[in-house]
Amino acid sequence: MEPVIDLNCSLPSEGTFLTPFALIWQDILAQAMTGELVAALNYTALSTICDDPAEAADALEHAAGEQGHAAAFAAEGRKIGVDVPNNVNAKHWKRLREAFMRRIAERDFIGCLIVQEIMLESFAVASYARAGKVAPGSMGRTFASIAAEEEEHIEHAMAILRTERALDAQRFDDKVHGLHLEVMTTLAEMLARECTHGHCEVCHDSCVKPSLSEVSLTAAELRGASLRQYLKTLDMLGLPGEVTLAWVSQLPV
């Protein structure tokens, strides 16, 4: 059973006054919450193609954890007086979800791990860790705590993926490259300088990226940290650094 998700992007009631500070964090939390709900859906779907009952149970446990993360982000929004929206059907998140579901349709367990644990989690770990350093009070602690938990997900997948790569390194690396072109292009577009494809459908109004400096963040910084985490993870898998660096250098900016 898939998680029950409210797809209505709820906003404060008419007449409610919110400071620019609160509105910026509302958008940051909305992106994070949406990402966690997409992850919950992904892990739930992954459980349906696991041949090993223990792996299926582990995937469902991960799904529940991601739902808990989403709830934590919603709670942090309420503390600053905002309702945090989510939209798993927003254009970028929908494309990421569809990429994952294509792997599900192919019963490609390894491909699913690469998309969720290596690519999506790399962005989550890096961006949450950075937000955790500047977010106020308990919000900062929540971002930092969830970043640490997401890093554990990456470590959990490492043994499985290293074993798979040892069977045929070239075949594995070719798979990663194909998924890189499909998934990382979308992730890079999300943190590109400008939203060249229009509104992201998650931010409550205009794009939050130009305003991030008001809370000591920048899109370039988040993008750089996320791509460094991604490259670090690929290094841990054993992929040649000169090859993966060339992949990353060709992503949208």
pLDDT interval class at 55 (50, 70, 90): very high
**Residues 69 and 28: beta-carbon distance below 8 Å:** no
H-type alpha helices, 168-212: 169-179, 185-190
Tell me the whole-structure pTM to 2 decimals.
0.89
When pLDDT is averaged across residues 142-166 and rounded to a whole number, the result is 91
Shortest CA distance to 222 belongs to which of 154, 136, 156, 135?
135
pLDDT at 87 (0 to 100): 92
pLDDT one-digit tens code per residue, 13-47: 333 346 888 999 999 999 999 999 999 999 999 99
pLDDT one-digit tens code per residue, 190-243: 888 777 777 888 888 888 888 999 999 999 999 999 999 999 999 999 999 999
Shortest CA distance to 29 belongs to which of 208, 229, 222, 225?
208
When pLDDT is averaged across residues 184-189 and rounded to a whole number, the result is 92
Q: What are the structural domains, with CATH classification, of the chain? A: 20-249 (1.20.1260.10)
**Residues 104 and 48: beta-carbon distance below 8 Å:** yes
Share of the chain above pLDDT 90, in %: 79
pLDDT surpassing 70 at residue 64: yes
Alpha-carbon distance of 50 to 56, in angstroms, equals 5
Dump strand ranges (E) for the chain.
Answer: none
At 155, list the tokens. Answer: 């470590």
Rounded to 5 degrees, what angle do the CA atoms 219, 247, 119 make?
60
pLDDT surpassing 80 at residue 118: yes
At 125, list the tokens. Answer: 């770990």
pLDDT at 226 (0 to 100): 94
pLDDT at 154 (0 to 100): 84
pLDDT at 18 (0 to 100): 63
pLDDT interval class at 156 (50, 70, 90): confident
pLDDT one-digit tens code per residue, 96-112: 999 999 999 999 999 99
pLDDT at 205 (0 to 100): 80
Alpha-carbon distance of 172 to 42, in angstroms, equals 21
pLDDT at 12 (0 to 100): 38
